[in-house]
Structure 1
Amino acid sequence: MNDHEFLRVFEFVDRLRKPFLDVAGIEDEASWRIVHYLMTSELEGYPVTISKLALVSNLPRGTAIRRIQSMIEDGLIERRSPSETAKRATLHPTARLSGLAVNYAAQTKALIAEILGGRHVEEHEADYYFGAPRRGNPVIPPINLLTNRITKGVELQFLLNDDNYFAAMRNMWSDFRNNLATAKSFKLVHQNDLYREGLANGARAVSAYDIIAIDMPWLGEFASKGLILPIGEMIRESGINAMDFHPSIWSTTTWQRVEYGVPIYCTIEVLACRSDLFERTGFALPRTFDDVIQAGRSFHNPGADRYGIAWNAAHMPLASSFMFFLGCCGQSVLSIRRTPTGYSTENLDAQHMRPQIDSEAGLLVLDYMHRLVEIAQPGVLEADWDDACAIFLRGQSAMAYVWTMRAAQFEAEVRSAVKRRVAYVPQPSGPGGTNTSPIGGFLLCIPSNIDPKRLPLATEALAWMASREAMKEHVKNGFPVAPRFSVSSDPEAIGRSQLVRFVGSLGNRNLLRNWQRPPVPFYTDMERIIGEEIHDALSGRKSDRAALKHAQDRLDRIIDRKSFDA
């Protein structure tokens, strides 16, 4: 049970108890008020003093203090002081009280689901979700999926990335009112494990999953190895309208002009800026590499625990950064075809898969990266995406390179120190380049070794998961997916999220790009090599020119060992 679900259950119980007091009048209201306020404040990050807790108990002050003191002695509440000399302490639930409260919420949740949700008594409470109350028109789940689960016990199996979006999707399916699946039907794993498990699943005689998620750049490998089904015809028969997706986003589903998946969410890497700091100092929001460095140096003050930029330069994110920054300088990492708006990843052959890392543009990118390290947080060369986001979330940096899916927490996270103080801009341009907005995200695909009897249900599930209604529901819950024009232009969706408006505007202005990370069959090898060599350059183990040459040579050897269809 996560924090959000716990709070929903507790809020329900709090509202449910009030009528009961009028019936019996014997409930210990004061103890409930104390526990409810203490647990809620702990999860939402608000400090609680003994005076405040006594006040919310509605008991006379002396009686309330004695009640709280008794709970401290019983090991339910603990005092914490910021220092040994501090006179004012805060109160917190102990591990024992937290355990008792969570157990109570779980039992309540199970009872509600049994009565209202059609759940079996023997089903564990962790197998379904206590969702938020529905407002307006509900999202109607596919009737065939519901019927097959209830009458035949058929439950689809999913392999997904372990992130907030897919966790919310799991919760939508396992909501005790939808009754479409149990949480056990969803395997959420780290991105590296997702890749390995996707490959391992393809080697099985029969797939263990009905639907799998793959990172967009993996498409060439999964498609060329025959691990996923071509589903273009199924997509059209399901009613999914490809025209409702931005062309750059829909193109991520295609390898060698064949459609293999549906974009379930897109995320755009942008530059997040502290609008309050920029307005206070009079700096314009950055449009170029030099603008970023100039502003970052002005804000950088490590002695005050303030940094110019939060950045992730561990091996894996560093590879993406290099490819994105190369695109900002007007060059692709591979010799893919040029178009009037950039490059095309369609119909690639061996000629258009040669690396062009060892170049003047590569040197310009490394120069920019060295300067970013100078104004970034300590330990930047070991930082991943979540580490950089956490720095910015705590208000410790003026800027951050961030994916919009992670940036959603800047407004949604209870403990965010930057709420309503963030402006977003497309990635600043480098010399000879433009402001680019690189696309990332995941595709939903059907394994090629799926049990044929399960294919119709998997197709129906995929269509529902990517439907306008389901995507809009996720936007309402704070996820700036917006891969469909009909969602990003929906007044209700736009009104709920600055990021939805921003990403929608990029799409409408045709500023979304998918070519910076070409989905070639050797993408993961390319990502690993670039990450290793560029990391060596930034850490001083190699010169910039040596790192670029080694990356070029290593990738050339890998490509020479492979053959690709024209």
Structure 2
Amino acid sequence: MGNLQNENFSRVLQRSAVAPDPAALPAALAFLESAMSELDTALEVAEPNAYLNMVVALLRAHLAGRIVTATMLIAASDVPYATARRKLQKLIDTGLIEQRARTRSGKSFSLHPTERLMANWQQFSDRIIRLSADASSSTTIDEREYYYGASYLPASQSIAPPRVLPIPLQIGGGLRVLVHGDPTFMVMENLKRQFEQIIGTNISQRAFSIDRLRTEALRNAERRFSKYDIIAVDLPWIGEFAEKGVLMPLDTCLEIDRLDPPDFHTAGWTATHWGGRPYGVPSQTTPELLFYRKDLFAEAGLAAPDTTDKLIEAARHFHNPQHGRYGIAWNAARGTALGHQFLMTCADFGQPIVNLDPIAGGFAADTAKRRDIVPTIDTPLALEACDYLLQLMAYSPPDILSMSWYERVRPYASGKIAMAYGYTLLAPYFERDPASPANGNTGYLPHPAGPNGQPLAPVGGYAMGIPANLAPERRAAAAEALIAFTSPEAQKLYVLNGSRTAPRYSVGADPEVRRISPIFEAVDAMSLRDELQYWPRPPIPQIAEIFEICGQEIHDMLRGVQTPRDALARAQSRAERALK
């Protein structure tokens, strides 16, 4: 699998190395506008170029996600109204600009660049930047980067902004989407107007917490026709949702090659499959990592912890409750949150939660064709995991037993905690806050390993899928929207607007993306080392119940209500009943 991942990543780099640089487009537009202004000043007899003025205005608005009307382009043309109207019509007739109806009456239109215009200008932009760079070849590299921007030079290949679909989606009432209320999906909500332009229809998005999202998705499956066109699915639910007919296999409604599967992190793409068929497309691959304060570790002369023993030592060193400082935070809230943490901690010690078959790099998590699955909770390795969690308790904040997904990262961001287990999607809490002591001082590691384990970055996040009971007449449009929302162009846009998840190698390799955060390069490196794994939370149909069982029994153990052995025995017994 490691060789396959390296091969896939190499293909992405090779593909991007020969493509024109689409990131040159905004730089070229700015350059042209400045150049035209200078020319008008220098040549007193110069006349406005209406075609150029209108195209530049259109492309600028398109990149910014703003709606453009004919009136706006006519105003930008800098020529008399009748002349501008005639030239605008010529741009439309020649297939460079397309009109889209804004109202049902069809009397009001918005204007959009066609694929042909975008392709022409991306090539032109790349050439103009090259010419500018060549013209300044006598200057130093630093000077050239200052004037033209290092990210726009041909050596730095970037992903283009999303393009408007050539044919607007025809879907009654607009597109309806059900998502999780996390930072990445909230970025999508903030970009709703831009994506409405891209797909050509209105978007209605509902967001729920993780437990409510699952409940709503299951309730939706009971309806005659789905209330939603696309739904977000936590990766461990894939098996349950496939078995219960909540999701349709994607190979029944679209050509899988259009998704470019090799571009996805292998673990993220594989996690969307059940019985060998894809039921979703990764919209965010967000492994749980160990966040740690590099500055504090450097001051203390401590190495980054790569084992559970070293993590405990570091937590002990930094734990100073008298001064409001604590060693570590993690998911310890009762129920689902702690259930997830316990399963991943067991994996750190080499113990899967059910009897998965061992394979190179871990365990085979797609159990669709097996009928012999049993829980493996009450084991010596799981007992070691329990002992580890009890040790963590001693160096955690006093409210640790109520900390869940977001609560564990907030005190880390405020500087009260030296380390935290957290998903990459939570990194904006400190990476985008200049006042956070963790800003610029955070290192990212896979889970430190127990004595019988290996470093792992348990894959979390969500896939986007199409409900199995979606009305037939809506499926084609839903499939096109799904492709658009999970494309490299869309994924990069999410990152530029605050997301810290990148399920595609091409997005993680994008120079603009890498400049935003070190987290992308770190996750790509973990993927290539085969540390991204989804077997710690296998997508068995009963996984949600297993989370709840473990989250209850282990919580009682952490509270001192029962011993570790009793907690494991009770969880094992309850899980066996759930799997029957």
Normalised by the shorter chain, which TM-score bucket? Answer: 0.7 to 0.9
SS in structure 1 at match of 2:255: helix
Q: Where does residue 368 of structure 1 map in the other structure?
A: 388
The answer (yes or no) to whether the contact 1:144–1:457 under 8 Å persists in 2 is no
- State how 1:354-393 maps to structure 2 within 5 Å: 354-393=374-413
The answer (yes or no) to whether the contact 1:174–1:181 under 8 Å persists in 2 is no
Query: Deviation digits for residues 288-336 of structure 1, max 9, x if unmatched?
Result: 1111111111111111110011222002221111111111111101001
- State how 1:233-272 maps to structure 2 within 5 Å: 234-236=253-255, 239-272=258-291
The answer (yes or no) to whether the contact 1:267–1:403 under 8 Å persists in 2 is yes
**Separation in structure 2 between the aligned mates of residue 243 and residue 175 of structure 1, nearest angstrom:** 27
Q: Where does residue 474 of structure 1 map in the other structure?
A: 494
Instruction: Name which of 167, 173, 176 aligns with 1:157.
Output: 176
1:224 alignment partner AA:
E
The answer (yes or no) to whether the contact 2:184–2:500 under 8 Å persists in 1 is no
The answer (yes or no) to whether the contact 1:326–1:365 under 8 Å persists in 2 is yes
1:477 alignment partner AA:
N
**Separation in structure 1 between the aligned mates of residue 556 and residue 202 of structure 2, nearest angstrom:** 42
Q: Where does residue 423 of structure 2 map in the other structure?
A: 403
Are 1:141 and 2:161 matched, yes or no? no
Query: Deviation digits for residues 381-412 of structure 1, max 9, x if unmatched?
Result: 11112111111010001111111110232211
The answer (yes or no) to whether the contact 1:174–1:182 under 8 Å persists in 2 is no
Structure 1 residues 244 and 302 mapped into 2: Cα distance closer, same or farther (>3 Å)? same
- State how 1:523-538 maps to structure 2 within 5 Å: 523-538=543-558
The answer (yes or no) to whether the contact 2:431–2:438 under 8 Å persists in 1 is yes
1:303 alignment partner AA:
Q
Q: Where does residue 503 of structure 2 map in the other structure?
A: 483
The answer (yes or no) to whether the contact 2:332–2:400 under 8 Å persists in 1 is yes
Instruction: Name which of 349, 366, 372 aligns with 1:329.
Output: 349
The answer (yes or no) to whether the contact 2:366–2:539 under 8 Å persists in 1 is no
Q: Where does residue 578 of structure 2 map in the other structure?
A: 558
Q: Where does residue 225 of structure 1 map in the other structure?
A: 244
Structure 1 residues 555 and 509 mapped into 2: Cα distance closer, same or farther (>3 Å)? same
**Separation in structure 1 between the aligned mates of residue 287 and residue 462 of structure 2, nearest angstrom:** 12
The answer (yes or no) to whether the contact 2:176–2:204 under 8 Å persists in 1 is yes
1:138 alignment partner AA:
P
The answer (yes or no) to whether the contact 1:113–1:176 under 8 Å persists in 2 is no
Structure 1 residues 406 and 112 mapped into 2: Cα distance closer, same or farther (>3 Å)? same
SS in structure 1 at match of 2:503: coil
1:188 alignment partner AA:
A
- State how 1:55-204 maps to structure 2 within 5 Å: 137-145=160-168, 148=170, 154-175=173-194, 178=197, 180=199, 185-204=204-223
TM-score normalised per structure 2: 0.71
> Shift of residue 431 of structure 1?
1.8
Are 1:295 and 2:314 matched, yes or no? yes
Are 1:510 and 2:530 matched, yes or no? yes
Query: Deviation digits for residues 449-500 of structure 1, max 9, x if unmatched?
Result: 1111111100000001111111111122232222111111222222221111
The answer (yes or no) to whether the contact 1:142–1:461 under 8 Å persists in 2 is no
Structure 1 residues 349 and 549 mapped into 2: Cα distance closer, same or farther (>3 Å)? farther
> Shift of residue 247 of structure 1?
1.9
**Separation in structure 2 between the aligned mates of residue 159 and residue 488 of structure 1, nearest angstrom:** 26
- State how 1:438-449 maps to structure 2 within 5 Å: 438-449=458-469
**Separation in structure 2 between the aligned mates of residue 364 and residue 257 of structure 1, nearest angstrom:** 34
Q: Where does residue 47 of structure 2 map in the other structure?
A: none
Instruction: Name which of 468, 481, 484 aligns with 1:464.
Output: 484
SS in structure 2 at match of 1:399: strand
SS in structure 1 at match of 2:287: strand
Are 1:492 and 2:512 matched, yes or no? yes
- State how 1:30-45 maps to structure 2 within 5 Å: none
Structure 2 unmatched runs, 5+: 1-64, 73-99, 104-151, 153-157
2:245 alignment partner AA:
G
Are 1:317 and 2:337 matched, yes or no? yes
Q: Where does residue 55 of structure 1 map in the other structure?
A: none
> Shift of residue 253 of structure 1?
1.1
Structure 1 residues 217 and 114 mapped into 2: Cα distance closer, same or farther (>3 Å)? farther
TM-score normalised per structure 1: 0.73
Structure 1 residues 347 and 381 mapped into 2: Cα distance closer, same or farther (>3 Å)? closer
The answer (yes or no) to whether the contact 2:164–2:198 under 8 Å persists in 1 is no
**Separation in structure 1 between the aligned mates of residue 258 and residue 286 of structure 2, nearest angstrom:** 24
**Separation in structure 2 between the aligned mates of residue 241 and residue 309 of structure 1, nearest angstrom:** 39
The answer (yes or no) to whether the contact 1:404–1:480 under 8 Å persists in 2 is yes
Q: Where does residue 295 of structure 2 map in the other structure?
A: 276
**Separation in structure 2 between the aligned mates of residue 507 and residue 428 of structure 1, nearest angstrom:** 16
> Shift of residue 110 of structure 1?
12
**Separation in structure 2 between the aligned mates of residue 394 and residue 115 of structure 1, nearest angstrom:** 49
Query: Deviation digits for residues 434-454 of structure 1, max 9, x if unmatched?
Result: 111100011111011111111
Structure 1 residues 459 and 543 mapped into 2: Cα distance closer, same or farther (>3 Å)? same
**Separation in structure 1 between the aligned mates of residue 182 and residue 306 of structure 2, nearest angstrom:** 30
* Number of residue pairs matched by the alignment: 435
Instruction: Name which of 452, 470, 474 aligns with 1:450.
Output: 470
> Shift of residue 142 of structure 1?
2.1
> Shift of residue 144 of structure 1?
2.9
Q: Where does residue 455 of structure 2 map in the other structure?
A: 435
1:391 alignment partner AA:
P
**Separation in structure 1 between the aligned mates of residue 256 and residue 404 of structure 2, nearest angstrom:** 41
> Shift of residue 181 of structure 1?
7.3
**Separation in structure 1 between the aligned mates of residue 524 and residue 178 of structure 2, nearest angstrom:** 28
**Separation in structure 1 between the aligned mates of residue 274 and residue 542 of structure 2, nearest angstrom:** 13
